Chains A and B, each alone.
Chain A
Amino acid sequence: MSRISSHRLFTIALPLALLAGSVGAAESQRLTFVACPVFQDTNTVPCWLAEYQGETYFLGIQTDSGGWTPPLQGHQVLVESVVTAQPRVCGGIVLASAGSVFDKRPSGKSAGVDLPQPPVISTMRELDSSCRTMLPENPRYNTLEPRRGPGPGNAQIAGLQPNAGAPRAAAEPLKPPFAAKTFELHYEFDSELAGLTINKLQEALKYADDIKAKAVEVVSHRASVKLSNGKQLDEIPKIAELRAKELANVIRMFGLPKGTELKVRFVADAQVGNGIDDWTRRRSDIIVTP
């Protein structure tokens, strides 16, 4: 990209960023709630909806694994979202991400419009057998063009070759002086499995190995969510400990370089939620020190 165009891009991006930053106004457009997920089939892939205070909201569509994680029936779902002005999809007001770690590609289009990045959702830990609403295909909602349909994919997605997923041999060894680095892993509410951000752990372990770190420290946190109805929803008391234990086990199984010390701690008090970026506090930090 030439200098000029990147500069221009910058000047255009700035007001936009300011706009996004001024979303104190948009706080009213945040929507955070717990509800039963509703499955609405279409002539292609199903839509995921949820009802809150008498209104139907659209969460997202079935996708490939690894991008968004749609809800599970048999459980309630926690939705942390921003309300959009997009045309309804599958009858629901379209909710979008309030900033998340998920796949950035649109999962498809509805009536020709790209679907937004879906909201952050968490499958609640315990079962709720009342969450079983499945709605059959409805011709009115047959507007989806999903990136992946209900059958096999369109082309070969990278298969598992030997060593796939293995940290690649560093092209050039890193040179000292090394800095301490922190790697952040995020979680679904009440979950100790750092699903979609587990690549951060891989990065942390690779960095620890590259610099033959003096220490790798795990610090796990517990958070609350401020729901749109004003209530604070706390994660289970043990969750920080479980997160720390889980990560420590994975790190031990992977193995650290000789001489690298593993330190593990957790903060059991729940950090108070603000209803804006609560998902960022359901977190473990991995601090790698040279």
Chain B
Amino acid sequence: MRHYSIPAAIAASLALSVLLGSHALAQATQADQREWVRAGQGGVLPAETAFNNADGKSGIFNVKGAVDMKGHPFFEVLGTNGRACVTCHQPSDAMGLSLASIRQQWQSNGGKDPLFAPVDGANCPNLPREEAKSHSLLLNRGLIRVGLPWPPQPRNGVPTEPEFTIEVVRDPAGCNTDPVYGLTSPKPTVSVYRRPRIAANLKFMTYEVGPFNAKRLAMINDRDPFTGKYMSMNIMSDAREPSLRTQAISAARDHLQVKDEPSADALDRIVNFESQLYAAQVDSRVGGSLVEKGGPEALGPRNLDKQERGLGDNFGTPLFHSFAMWNPASSEARAQREFRESVARGNDVFFKRPFYISDTTHINTVGMGNPMKRTCATCHNSNMVGTDLSAGWVDVGTTNLPYARVTLDNPWSEAKAELPLFKITCNAEARPHPFLGRVIYTQDPGRALISGRCVDVGSIVMGQFRGLAARAPYFSNGSAATLRDLVDFYDRRFNIGYTTQEKEDLTNFLSVL
């Protein structure tokens, strides 16, 4: 438990309630109290342990046993801002970072908590640290600022010529138009705001592949400069980091503000730790234990360790295996039985219920036609984690208009647009975005900020489906506050016409992963 001086806490929670409204505050304090691991606190992270969340408990499992956090580079302050990797990748949040935890830290420590370091824990580094509104994107939507150089860096040693220009249409956070940090600054930077992704179950995410990208046919996969191997390009929202090692180096530089790159030994220990760790929900408030003997093979961190990577969009090896033992379920209590049956149906909705998938780049465009009649599992096809087995950046509409969620300014409410809005204008000779053409409005150009390609605007790498209950909100830009919101997004986006029962089943299913 942390100790904090009462006045600071009151001041902080007052500021927060002004920002969020008292309702959200009450939610954050009661239902969802999290155990926070502070950078450099020491102690031992057990080999297997569970943490409360609103839907039950999430668990972690370290195949190499307990970890002494003292002196461990994932947990120690490596840089100048008091943070560690664990600051944004919390064991209680399935190695991601929940809005519940973020708000809890603000209430406890206000802006001086290292999480709120101005570099990327504020809307822009030049804002006053102690004010809640400087951190509105983090406090309201769980978003960290990701500043990317524009134009893009060379890739695999080959210069990347951007096919489009970027203008800042709206900049509520002020960073993209800032003379020091913005697009026209001496070091031109595009700031996008993204959710931390999960630092566990990574054997399913990043691995060696062949040189040719299975999906984006005329493309060579990035290589890990340390091993020379071609990599799967399935980590980070934009796949800009080829391997866990390069990722750790850039994370230390950008998030921890280290003076010198971590030593080879520190990098080894970080990567080993991330590679040994599995995280998933282990207990459901209504459905009971998710890891009983004879229970579903997809659930719990130990099953993630047992399973291997593979394509699961088929009846031979379905990615989330079978929930048959829960349909019908044989539990004593009615609520538990009904919940488990709902989860089993939800898996069927996810896996088998077709709808018209339309206007998505890198899915409709890779040989199946637009629209195509398929299921959630067509895009989310990778065994146990539900990402795309072949490099998974796709424009499903989370960040590009017209599908992205936007708050429209209006005279009747305080709610204001929070995210930046960019106007992308593609060169006349560029291959246009296949569904949006040559002028695109987007909150986050995603992969296009790395590739410079017009077709990639708004394409985001899918995040894994594990420990979802522990780490709301969802999507790279935090635009779905709950799992039900996420399901509703799809229902609208693809005009699916789910029944209330189907929505509930799908939501329950996602909540136990």
Contacts and interface: CB of A to CB of B under 8 A. Distances in A.
Contacts of B325: none
| Band of interface residues on B | 35 or more
A64 B389 CA distance: 15
Interface string B308-350: 0111011111100000000000000000000000000000000
Nearest to A185: B218
Interface stretch (B143-151, B169-177, B203-211, B268-276): B203-211
A176 interface: no
Nearest to A166: B210
A152 B318 contact: yes
A2 interface: no
A65 B429 contact: no
B156 interface: yes
B246 interface: no
B408 interface: no
B352 interface: yes
Nearest to B310: A159
A126 B432 contact: yes
B372 interface: yes
A216 B366 CA distance: 28
B377 interface: yes
B429 A242 contact: yes
B165 interface: no
Given A72-B364, A193-B217, A62 B372 contact: yes
Max chain B C-beta neighbours (<10 A), residue from A125, A151, A163, A164? A151
Nearest to B381: A152
Given A152-B352, A156-B314, A166-B230, A70 B212 contact: no
> Which of A39, A158, A194 lies at the interface centre, i.e. has the most chain B CB atoms within 10 A of its CB?
A39
A63 interface: yes
A46 B369 CA distance: 10
A290 interface: no
Contacts of B250: none
Interface string A153-168: 1111111101111110
Interface in A75-122: 75
26 contacts: A65-B367, A66-B367, A68-B367, A70-B370, A70-B372, A71-B370, A72-B370, A151-B377, A152-B314, A152-B375, A154-B316, A156-B310, A156-B311, A157-B311, A159-B311, A159-B383, A160-B214, A160-B311, A163-B208, A163-B209, A192-B218, A195-B218, A198-B217, A198-B218, A252-B156, A253-B158
B219 A73 contact: no
A64 B367 contact: yes
Nearest to A241: B429
A202 interface: yes
B349 to A, nearest CB: 11
A62 B369 contact: yes
A38 to B, nearest CB: 12
Place the interface of chain A in its size category: 35 or more
B315 A165 contact: no
Interface string A38-75: 01010001101000000000000011111111111111
Contact of B220 (A48, A242, A250): A250
Interface of A: 39, 41, 45-46, 48, 62-75, 123, 125-127, 134, 150-160, 162-167, 191-196, 198, 202, 236, 238, 242, 246-247, 249-250, 252-254
A156 B435 contact: no
Contacts of A70: 367-370, 372
B319 to A, nearest CB: 9
A230 B416 CA distance: 57
Contacts of A247: 218
B432 A127 contact: yes
Interface of B: 155-158, 207-212, 214-215, 217-220, 230, 232, 309-311, 313-318, 351-352, 354, 356, 358-359, 364-375, 377, 383, 389-390, 429, 431-432, 434-435, 437
Contact of B367 (A69, A73, A125, A167): A69
A252 B211 CA distance: 12
B210 A159 contact: no
Contacts of A123: 434
A192 B365 CA distance: 14
B364 A253 contact: no
Given A126-B432, A134-B371, A198-B218, A249 B158 contact: yes
Contact of A41 (B155, B217, B373, B432): B373
A123 B364 CA distance: 12
3 smallest beta-carbon distances between A and B, as pairs: A165-B210, A70-B369, A65-B367
Nearest to B358: A73
Contact of B434 (A72, A134, A150): A72
A158 B150 CA distance: 38
A196 B354 contact: no
A166 B213 CA distance: 10
- Of B310, B311, B367, most buried by chain A (CB within 10 Å of CB) is B367
Nearest to B372: A62
A126 B215 CA distance: 22
Given A45-B373, A151-B375, A156-B316, A194 B218 contact: yes
A249 B160 CA distance: 9
Contacts of A160: 209, 214, 232, 309, 311, 389-390
A50 to B, nearest CB: 13
A238 B427 CA distance: 13
Contact of A73 (B310, B351, B366, B371): B371
Contacts of B390: 160
Contacts of A162: 207-209
Contacts of B314: 152-157
Contacts of B311: 156-160
Contact of B313 (A67, A152, A202, A238): A152
A163 B435 contact: no
A184 to B, nearest CB: 15
B212 to A, nearest CB: 5
A266 to B, nearest CB: 14
B368 A65 contact: yes
Given A62-B373, A64-B368, 19 more contacts: A46-B371, A65-B215, A69-B367, A70-B368, A73-B370, A126-B437, A127-B432, A127-B435, A134-B371, A153-B314, A155-B315, A156-B316, A160-B209, A162-B207, A167-B211, A192-B218, A193-B218, A250-B219, A252-B156
A193 B311 CA distance: 26
A64 B373 CA distance: 11
Contacts of B210: 163-167
Contacts of B377: 151-152
Contacts of A159: 309-311, 383, 389
A157 B390 CA distance: 13
